[in-house]
């Protein structure tokens, strides 16, 4: 089984290089519309340039899994600011996508926790605008359906079961370019792995299993026991999971700087026994690229695991 390990948004090893520079709506309103629009667009270009440097770094270090920042284009989804992402950044996005494909780097995105498809009509409308922006980024890069957009099932709103049903009833409102990329993730407080799996099975949307969230918000069955059903939701796409370690016992939900290899190793062995050809592992740790490469190094010290590249293992 091949295991690809990646990280989120920023490569800490690259000095002074953030893909998430901001341009607030407050600043936008301070100047004439066209002038402020040009400034917002330029901030987006700088973020895409920072992303280009990160992709070069990933290719040089053998990291073939990377989550793009959701803050690449500031104000892109604000109703009073109109930035046609795919048109304005056509050349930049095409260049980034071509590079990622050439170096076999799987890209993904993860909108914030307010992007919910099971809320009020206004909340869902805002979520679809946000998801459309993310789909425009990945579509503009020419990424296939492996380039996923991951969100949580959503809020409980006083009745988890009814809220999950609301999500399912809202899915027909979601445009196909979004739906083909969508995944649902179990969260650390509300929807357990088992509940999320049920939603995924009924909707046909792949399930993003988060190991740490499963420890925080456990199902009646351990997440690892659900592995065969979770893997089935991915069909012909490589399965992807999120991993992190608790910061400490008191602050258990927060992410530590690095990821402990031991608990993940148990899950990897189960995936191998399940017959998976490949598993993509997204590291959600404070030390980002450093944590990604350290985890690959730690796992490669285990007998039977061979490191093929910086963030790629065989077991």
Q: CATH code at 98?
A: 3.20.20.150
Of 51, 40, 187, give the one whose Cα is nearest residue 115.
Answer: 187
Q: What is the pLDDT of residue 232?
A: 98
Indicate the pairing of strand 306-309 with strand 278-283: unpaired
- Tokens for 9, please give them: 């948004």
* pLDDT at residue 267 in the model: 97
SS3 109: strand
In this structure, are strands 65-67 and 149-152 parallel, antiparallel, or unpaired? unpaired
The whole-number pLDDT of residue 82 equals 84
Give 74's Cβ-side CA count (13 Å radius).
22
N- to C-terminal Cα distance for the chain? 5
Number of domains observed in the structure of the chain: 1
Closest among 139, 99, 118, 19 to 67, alpha carbons compared:
19
CB atoms within 10 A of CB 183: 21
- φ, ψ of residue 223 to 5 degrees: the values are -55, -35
Q: Which residues of the chain have pLDDT under 50?
A: none
Alpha-carbon distance of 280 to 90, in angstroms, equals 28
**pLDDT recorded at residue 50:** 98
Residue 147 near residue 141 (C-beta atoms within 8 A): yes
| pLDDT value for 113 | 87
Cβ atoms 173, 124 nearer than 8 A: yes
Joined tokens for residue 55:
């992709």
Task: Report d(CA 234, CA 106) in Å as an integer.
Answer: 15
pLDDT value for 89? 98
Q: Is the dihedral of CA 110, 116, 118, 122 positive or negative?
A: negative
d(CA 224, CA 274): 11
pLDDT of residue 125: 95
Give every CB contact of residue 310 below 8 A, 6+ residues apart in sequence: 61, 62, 63, 293, 296
Q: What 3-state class would DSSP assign to 234?
A: coil
Q: Angle of helix 33-60 relative to helix 90-102, nearest 10 degrees? A: 10
| Rounded Cα distance, 272 and 294, in Å | 21
Could you please report the per-residue DSSP string of 10-38? --TTSTT--S-----HHHHTTS-HHHHHH
For the stretch 174-205, pLDDT in tens is 999 999 999 999 999 999 999 999 999 999 99
Tell me which residue has tokens 């299993």. Answer: 209
For residue 222, the model assigns a pLDDT of 87
Tens of pLDDT, residue by residue over 66-78, are 999 999 999 999 9
Give the CA distances from residue 73 to residues 50, 133, 166, 247, in Å, rounded to whole numbers and listed in that order: 12, 9, 30, 31
pTM confidence score: 0.97
Q: Which domain holds residue 299?
A: 2-6+12-314
Could you tell me the CA-to-CA distances from 297 to 66, 101, 225, 273, 283 in Å, in that order?
A: 18, 25, 27, 22, 14
């Amino acid at each position: 089984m091949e295991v690809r390990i990646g990280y989120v948004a920023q490569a800490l090893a690259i000095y002074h290089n953030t893909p998430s520079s901001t341009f607030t709506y407050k600043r936008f309103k301070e100047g004439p519309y066209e002038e402020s629009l040009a400034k917002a667009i330029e901030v987006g270009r700088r973020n895409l340039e920072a992303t280009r440097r990160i992709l070069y770094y990933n290719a040089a270090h053998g990291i073939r899994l990377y989550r793009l920042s959701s803050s690449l284009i500031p104000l892109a989804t604000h109703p009073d600011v109109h930035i046609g992402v795919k048109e304005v950044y056509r050349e930049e996005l095409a260049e980034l996508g071509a590079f990622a494909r050439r170096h076999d780097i799987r890209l993904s995105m993860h909108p914030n926790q307010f992007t919910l498809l099971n809320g009020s009509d206004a909340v869902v409308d805002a979520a679809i605008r946000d998801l459309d922006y993310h789909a425009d980024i990945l579509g503009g890069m020419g990424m296939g359906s492996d380039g996923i957009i991951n969100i949580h099932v959503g809020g409980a709103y006083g009745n988890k079961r009814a809220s999950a049903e609301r999500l399912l009833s809202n899915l027909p409102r979601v445009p196909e370019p979004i739906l083909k990329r969508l995944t649902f993730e179990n969260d650390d407080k509300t929807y357990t792995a088992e509940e999320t799996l049920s939603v995924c099975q009924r909707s046909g949307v792949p399930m993003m299993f988060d190991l740490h969230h499963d420890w925080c918000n456990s199902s009646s069955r351990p997440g690892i026991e659900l592995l065969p059903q979770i893997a089935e939701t991915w069909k012909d796409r490589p399965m992807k999971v999120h991993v992190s370690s608790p910061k400490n016992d008191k602050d258990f939900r927060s992410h530590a700087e690095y990821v402990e290899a031991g608990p993940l190793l148990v899950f990897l062995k189960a995936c191998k026994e399940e017959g998976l050809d490949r598993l993509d592992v997204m590291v959600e740790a404070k030390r980002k690229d450093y944590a990604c490469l350290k985890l690959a190094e730690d796992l490669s010290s285990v007998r039977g695991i061979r490191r093929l590249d910086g963030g790629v293992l065989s077991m």
